[in-house]
């Protein structure tokens, strides 16, 4: 046994798909897709590629990010690319809900970012590279490139067909890199699920022709039983010590057959070595061995990942997202100092328009709690994937009620009377060893000791509880599979949401903890 240094993957857990990375000096910056959520394109900073902290959102005002009310949960902002060139940061992405690519720049990656320059070009997954003449190239899925004027938003040449991988479906996530005398082209293929793969080609000329690498795809977990699946959508970066790394997306499914993944696509990190001029990557593991000679910081353990927000800051933390927009009339940190006050717009979580702020579920086993004063309104805590897949615990008129919607089905699972005033609501998830029964209050009254029998393992159980003077009362324990990508479909993942669907209500704090397994 060696005592080789390791680090934990995913390095950015929870719904953080389609990562793109760049380095400036000692600092690394990473962006991810954000789909229906506003603000869009989270940007994170790291000094070691392992420990990341969100420093803002690239698209944080409506003039940059238009998400029409009918934006689908997996519409909006698709895969971004971040680069640093000529003293500026550049971020390009696609807003599929308006059918355009948009490019913004900043001198400070924490913002502000510029107003967008739009490109009405087909496909998704735009990437940027500058050639030896200083010309800017926009490469998109398919795979094809356009020479562009990034400031004027005009196309100067193209489409130039590039290399489209080994023939797998959906050649996408292209990135071009100038390394030595070569242009390397990374392409993902196989679709962003268990067939996902990353392939490479290179050319002396940015216009091609591209010569495929000797082993393609050079990274895939398809048709394996590895715990991390769907590895793909990768971006390459060279560390300060000269070593090379890939950031990529993967999923961690749980349960027996078939497994379900509930956290969305997460960001992983993998060391890259070069063999005869081609990148080689070992399979991506949750505990990854750092290559010999890695700077010690690379082997530092990731932060445990809990947080608490007391809402006593002047602005909402950048991790909070809203659905499609966040009009100033919908929320306030000053109406009741030290509390987050939300004002209802829509009256149901089942349709667009509900007032909500959400944060990602980042661990399979975790607990989120909130202290809410509903006033004369209706407010609560939800665990959601989209409008058709959510479990909720809410308080209104002295009653706490647990309900949920899965597809066309909506049900109330349990209720309890509570005294007026603030109440603490929690939602906990626990990786399940056996398929949890869907327990309703009526079941418990009718047959409190009825055996449910052991069924094959599911992915997790979701417990929704209210804190009373006598301790926590669990009002429902629900099967987590219904809040998974395999059931709900789409590109996002689970989030916890603070919401108001009637009147106005205030939230004193929100607390999120990973739970030991």
Residue 423 C-beta: closest distance to ligand 6LW, Å: 37
Q: Which of 18, 125, 235, 362 is catalytic?
A: 18
Q: Does the active-site annotation cover 189?
A: no
Residue 125 C-beta: closest distance to ligand 6LW, Å: 5
Spatial CB neighbours of 509, under 8 Å, sequence gap ≥ 6: 308, 309, 310, 311, 370, 371
Residue 202 C-beta: closest distance to ligand 6LW, Å: 21
Contact predicate 212/166, CB 8 Å: yes
- Residues in binding contact with ligand 6LW, number by CB under 6 A: 14
Position among 51, 95, 192, 267 found at the interface with ligand 6LW (CB under 6 A):
192
Q: Which of residues 433-492 bind ligand 6LW (CB under 6 A)?
A: 491
Lookup: tokens for 234: 């990768």
Residue 505 C-beta: closest distance to ligand 6LW, Å: 33
Give the separation between CA 438 and CA 478, rounded to whole angstroms.
5
Position among 32, 49, 124, 290 found at the interface with ligand 6LW (CB under 6 A):
124
Give the separation between CA 508 and CA 357, rounded to whole angstroms.
14
Taking Cα atoms as reference points, which of 79, 34, 81 lies closest to residue 59? 34
**Binding marks (x or -) toward ligand 6LW, 150..179, rule CB under 6 A?**
----------------------xx------
Give the separation between CA 429 and CA 477, rounded to whole angstroms.
9
**Binding marks (x or -) toward ligand 6LW, 226..265, rule CB under 6 A?**
------xx---------------x----------------
Q: Considering beta carbons, is residue 234 or 500 the nearer one to ligand 6LW?
A: 234
Bridge partners of 211, per DSSP, are 202
Q: Considering beta carbons, is residue 51 or 267 the nearer one to ligand 6LW?
A: 267
Taking Cα atoms as reference points, which of 246, 242, 247 lies closest to residue 295? 242
Give the separation between CA 495 and CA 156, rounded to whole angstroms.
42
Contact predicate 363/305, CB 8 Å: yes
Three-state secondary structure readout of 240-287: CCCCEEEEEEEEECECCCCCECCCCCEEEEEEEEEECCEEEECCCCCE
Q: Is 78 in the site for ligand 6LW (CB under 6 A)?
A: yes
Residue 218 C-beta: closest distance to ligand 6LW, Å: 17
Q: Considering beta carbons, is residue 243 or 492 the nearer one to ligand 6LW?
A: 492
Q: Considering beta carbons, is residue 232 or 436 the nearer one to ligand 6LW?
A: 232
Position among 79, 262, 340, 383 found at the interface with ligand 6LW (CB under 6 A):
79
Taking Cα atoms as reference points, which of 184, 288, 175 lies closest to residue 233? 175
Q: Which of 36, 125, 172, 325 is catalytic?
A: 172
Residue 105 C-beta: closest distance to ligand 6LW, Å: 22
Position among 33, 81, 164, 492 found at the interface with ligand 6LW (CB under 6 A):
33
Instruction: Tell me phi and psi for residue 513, to 5 degrees.
Output: -135, 135
- Residue number with the shortest CB distance to ligand 6LW? 192
Q: Considering beta carbons, is residue 81 or 355 the nearer one to ligand 6LW?
A: 81
Three-state DSSP state, 1: coil
The span from the first CA to the last CA of the chain, in angstroms, equals 26
Q: Does the active-site annotation cover 157?
A: no
Q: Considering beta carbons, is residue 141 or 424 the nearer one to ligand 6LW?
A: 141
Q: Quick one: CA dihedral 309, 312, 318, 324, positive or negative?
A: positive
Give the separation between CA 341 and CA 334, rounded to whole angstroms.
8
Q: Are strands 127-130 and 355-360 parallel, antiparallel or unpaired?
A: unpaired
Residue 346 C-beta: closest distance to ligand 6LW, Å: 26
What residues make contact with ligand 6LW under the rule CB under 6 A? 17-18, 33, 78-79, 124-125, 172-173, 192, 232-233, 249, 491
- Residues with catalytic function: 18, 172
């Amino acid at each position: 046994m060696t005592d080789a240094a390791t680090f934990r993957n995913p390095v950015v857990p929870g719904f953080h798909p389609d990562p793109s990375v760049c380095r400036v000096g000692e600092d690394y910056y990473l962006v991810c897709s954000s789909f229906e959520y506003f603000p869009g394109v989270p940007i994170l900073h790291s000094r070691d590629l392992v420990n990341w902290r969100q420093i803002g959102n690239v698209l944080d005002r409506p003039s940059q990010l238009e998400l029409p009310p009918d934006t689908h949960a997996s519409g909006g902002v698709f895969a971004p690319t971040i680069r640093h060139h000529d003293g500026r940061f550049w971020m390009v992405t696609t807003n599929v809900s308006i059918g355009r690519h948009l490019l913004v720049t900043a001198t400070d990656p924490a913002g502000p970012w510029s107003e967008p320059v739009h490109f009405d070009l087909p496909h998704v997954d735009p990437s940027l590279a500058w050639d030896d003449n200083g010309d800017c190239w926009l490469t998109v899925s398919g795979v094809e490139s356009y020479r562009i004027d990034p400031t004027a938003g005009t196309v100067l040449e193209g489409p130039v067909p590039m290399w489209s991988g080994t023939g797998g479906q959906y050649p996408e996530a292209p990135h071009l890199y100038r390394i030595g005398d070569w242009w390397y082209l990374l392409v993902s293929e196989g679709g962003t699920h268990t067939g996902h793969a990353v392939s490479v080609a290179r050319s002396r000329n940015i216009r091609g022709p591209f010569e495929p690498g000797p082993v393609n795809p050079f990274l895939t977990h398809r048709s394996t039983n590895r715990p991390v699946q769907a590895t793909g959508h990768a971006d390459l970066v060279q560390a300060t010590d000269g070593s090379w790394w890939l950031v990529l997306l993967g999923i961690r499914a749980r349960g027996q057959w078939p497994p379900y993944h509930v956290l969305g696509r997460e960001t992983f990190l993998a060391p890259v070595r070069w063999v005869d001029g081609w990148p080689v990557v070992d399979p991506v593991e949750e505990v990854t061995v750092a290559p010999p000679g890695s700077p010690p910081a690379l082997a530092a353990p990731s932060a445990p990942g809990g947080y608490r927000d007391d809402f006593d800051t002047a602005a909402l933390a950048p991790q909070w997202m809203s659905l499609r927009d966040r009009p100033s009339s919908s929320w306030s940190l000053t109406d009741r100092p030290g509390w987050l006050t939300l004002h209802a717009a829509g009256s149901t979580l089942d349709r667009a328009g509900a007032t909500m702020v959400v944060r990602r579920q980042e661990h399979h086993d975790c607990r989120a709690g909130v202290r809410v004063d509903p006033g004369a309104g209706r407010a609560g805590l939800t665990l959601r994937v989209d409008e058709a897949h959510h479990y909720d615990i809410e308080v209104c008129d002295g009653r706490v009620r647990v309900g949920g919607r899965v597809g066309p089905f909506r049900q109330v699972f349990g209720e309890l009377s509570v005294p007026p005033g603030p109440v603490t609501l929690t939602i906990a998830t626990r990786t399940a060893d056996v398929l949890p029964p869907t327990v309703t209050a009526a079941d418990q009254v009718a047959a409190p000791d009825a055996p449910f029998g052991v069924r094959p393992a599911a992915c997790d159980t979701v417990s929704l509880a209210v804190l009373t003077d006598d301790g926590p009362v669990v009002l429902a324990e629900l099967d987590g599979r219904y809040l998974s990508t395999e059931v709900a479909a789409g590109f996002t993942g689970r989030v916890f949401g603070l919401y108001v669907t009637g009147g106005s209500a205030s939230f004193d704090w929100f607390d999120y903890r990973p739970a030991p397994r």
